Chain A
Amino acid sequence: MDASFALAHCFGMDPRRSTPERPLVSVVDDDESVRESLPDLLREFGFEAIAFSRAEDFLSSDRLSQTKCLVLDIAMPGMSGLDLQQELRRRRESIPIIFITGQKDDANRELALRQGAAHFLYKPFSDISLLNALDLAIPQ
């Protein structure tokens, strides 16, 4: 973790802002307040952000191929976050995934990490931990 990099973000000085193409981060969460708030924070971080309420919607979206990182909820009606992770592996899509969940469940965490998750965050998480996770997940 580059401390000066994180510090720079904290003061809104995004080094990526100058680059014409911002990396796309997709958010999949059934909770509306997350879909509302998280993209704004991601944009503040300097990413392009888009939110989906259902895993299926993300899978059928043409933004999938452009997504550089996926911020994914676990417990959702229909396809769960873990199901989506498996489906992406099956499709050989190597999008880094940061899981976010409100339920403390170490078994899920272990499974997610074993299946190649980049990071696993419990809600509520701080902006710094998310930013660190994104920095680790997205290849520079």
Chain B
Amino acid sequence: MIVVGSDRADFPGQTESLLLSVAANQASIGLREAGLLRQQKRIADELDRRVAERTAELASTNRELASEIIERKLAEEALRTSEIKLRQVIDTIPTLAWCNLPDGPNEFLSKPWHDYTGLSPEESHGWGWQVAFHPEDLPPLMKRWRELLVSGEGDEMEARLRRRDGVYRWFLIRVQPLRNNEGEIIRWYGTSTDIEDRRVAEERLARNEAFLAEGQHLSRTGSFSWCVNSGSITWSEEMYRIFEFEEGTNVTLEEIGSRMHPEDLRIFNEMIERARAGVGDFEYEHRLLMPDGTVKHLHLIAHVRGDNPGEYIGAVQDVTQRRLSEQALSKARSELANVARVTSLGVLTASIAHEVNQPLSGIITNASTCLRMLSADPPNVDGACETARRTIRDGNRASDVISRLRTLYSKKEPTLESIDLNDAAREVTAMSSTEIQRAGVSLRQDFAESLPLASADRVQIQQVILNLIRNATEAMSTVDDRARELIITTELQGQQVLLSVKDSGVGLAPEAADKIFEAFHSTKNDGMGIGLSVSRSIIEAHRGRLWATKNDGPGVTFSFTIPRRSEGAIDVENLTNVDDRKADAA
């Protein structure tokens, strides 16, 4: 203002003077203030120094803070990694995981759940997941779920869950509540596991079990397992029914023994001994005597388990009905056979009479005529010669008739075939089982496994076996103080197959031992079987041997051997001779 004003004449004007005085005042203040400022500067410097100190302190703190932040970031990273891992676990475990809110609706479903059902989180949210369940399974499932919400208990249920392709599969659903410190439920956690294969297997198993039970019931066959060492016995339903024990009760050998027919108790005890000795598979026929006095016939077959040699598994069939009908049938058959025998004998006699009487009639007439012609006067020698010639011719004719009859009633040609001695024997025992049973004889068949075939006349060999069985049965008919036991065994002896029939009968008198194989020695003759002499002829014609040995205990064992098939052909001539001998004996 002064610089500008100094160029003017009228400087300073009134206003300018005022202003200048203010300025002068200000300047003096300024000067005063300048002094103050210097003082202030000192203070400021002090401040600066302090600030610098403080700043350094702060910087240091800041550095610490920064490293702390890095650490925190690392921690967060770790947490995230852990969360990812957890999610991976949840999404990878072979089950569907989920979480519901305390009052029921869904909060979370794992990715596999969505993948399986094909429902989006929006669709399944809240109660939306219900559509994934089978309509039949949902109501009971919801009912149970509501019960759990009230009771606060964990549980498991099974229900069908729809796959995204519309196929329902069975799931096992497990749920468990999570509680806070106060014990209040804050979440429900659950898993749903696919059990379709198990369910299918279970259903198949249940069906098979039902089939088995029904089959067992219909065929009256029970099955069992028996661990010899521990003594533990497992029975199927039908076993209980057969033995008439209350189903499901623990069964002991003693209890089973109490049902045994007293006469068959020996068989039962022997069976146990054999099993304990580890003899192997066995097969028995025995009887039960029920508390009401009825008798049941059982057929038992047991095998050692391949995977556990100490355990037997087996089946028992109630063959009572069959036995009874067999007995009835056999009775009818024997009556019929008797009738047939009488009838055929009559027919045979008549036919023989007719066949023989024709030539005989000629012989007598011719001989009479011859005599008359010779006694005439003069004798008619030519006529007599002619009639004598006819007499001789008719005599030959009668002889032809006899030999024709012999051919007719003896076997024509031996039939050689490969036979399984076990099968052959089985057929005979099946055929004569009623007879054996009726004689109060218990039969045991102890057949060698994989016995080689023999080349033989099946019918002839079976006649021999039948004969031996009949002899044995008869030998025991008077035995009352011990079991009447018939044991048929087969075995391989070198190049021979052997069959023996062991009885517990009266045995052989020493003087009889040599004679039993002689023709016509046997005192009995019921017409159906053949004697021991013929049996021996048959066996010898097969190049085998038939002999008898005294048992260590009571009774006798008859055994025969015949060559196994690889031995070569059998002399057909010999077999024919047997027929002749048989015919002669007849």
Contacts and interface: CB of A to CB of B under 8 A. Distances in A.
Interface of A: 10-12, 31, 33-34, 36-38, 40-41, 44, 75, 100, 102-104, 122-127
Contact of A44 (B360, B363, B369): B369
A41 B354 CA distance: 22
A31 B366 contact: no
A124 B360 contact: yes
B120 to A, nearest CB: 103
25 contacts: A31-B358, A31-B362, A33-B358, A33-B361, A33-B393, A34-B361, A34-B365, A36-B362, A36-B390, A37-B365, A40-B366, A40-B383, A40-B386, A40-B387, A41-B365, A44-B376, A100-B361, A103-B357, A122-B357, A123-B361, A125-B361, A126-B364, A126-B368, A127-B365, A127-B372
Contacts of A40: 365-366, 369, 383, 386-387
A123 B360 contact: yes
Contact of B397 (A33, A37, A44, A75): A33
A34 B369 CA distance: 12
A34 B362 contact: yes
Nearest to B362: A33
Scoring B350, B357, B393 by chain A CB atoms within 10 A of each residue's CB, the highest score goes to B357
B353 interface: yes
B399 to A, nearest CB: 14
B375 A124 contact: no
Interface in B344-378: 350, 353-354, 357-366, 368-369, 372-373, 375-377
B480 to A, nearest CB: 48
Nearest to A105: B350
B365 A38 contact: yes
B503 interface: no
Nearest to B391: A37
Nearest to A102: B357
A44 B373 contact: yes
B404 to A, nearest CB: 16
A127 B362 CA distance: 11
Contact of A102 (B353, B372, B376, B397): B353
A51 to B, nearest CB: 12
B375 A33 contact: no
B194 interface: no
Scoring B358, B361, B364 by chain A CB atoms within 10 A of each residue's CB, the highest score goes to B361
Nearest to B375: A12
Nearest to B372: A44
Given A33-B361, A34-B362, A124-B360, A102 B368 contact: no
A50 to B, nearest CB: 16
Nearest to A9: B372
A37 B369 contact: yes
Contacts of A10: 372
Given A33-B390, A37-B390, A103-B354, A124 B363 contact: yes
B485 interface: no
B394 interface: yes
Interface of B: 350, 353-354, 357-366, 368-369, 372-373, 375-377, 383, 386-387, 390, 393-394, 397
B448 to A, nearest CB: 55
A103 B350 contact: yes
Contacts of B397: 33
Contact of B353 (A36, A37, A104): A104
Contact of B357 (A11, A12, A123, A127): A123
B343 to A, nearest CB: 16
Contacts of B383: 40
Nearest to A36: B390
Q: Which 8 A-B pairs have the closest CB atoms?
A: A33-B362, A102-B357, A123-B361, A127-B368, A124-B361, A37-B365, A12-B376, A44-B372
B373 A103 contact: no
Nearest to B359: A33
A102 B580 CA distance: 29
A38 B386 CA distance: 13
A127 B373 CA distance: 13
Contacts of A34: 358, 361-362, 365
Contact of A41 (B357, B368, B376, B394): B368
Contacts of A44: 369, 372-373, 376
A122 B357 CA distance: 9
A127 to B, nearest CB: 4
Given A33-B397, A37-B365, A127-B368, 11 more contacts: A12-B377, A31-B362, A33-B358, A34-B358, A37-B390, A40-B365, A40-B386, A40-B387, A41-B368, A103-B353, A124-B365
Contacts of B373: 44
Contacts of A41: 365, 368-369, 372
B466 to A, nearest CB: 36
Contacts of B369: 37, 40-41, 44, 127
Given A124-B364, A127-B372, A102 B377 contact: no
A106 B363 CA distance: 24
B576 to A, nearest CB: 32
B317 to A, nearest CB: 53
A11 B361 contact: no
Contact of B361 (A12, A102, A104): A102
A11 B350 CA distance: 36
Nearest to A121: B361
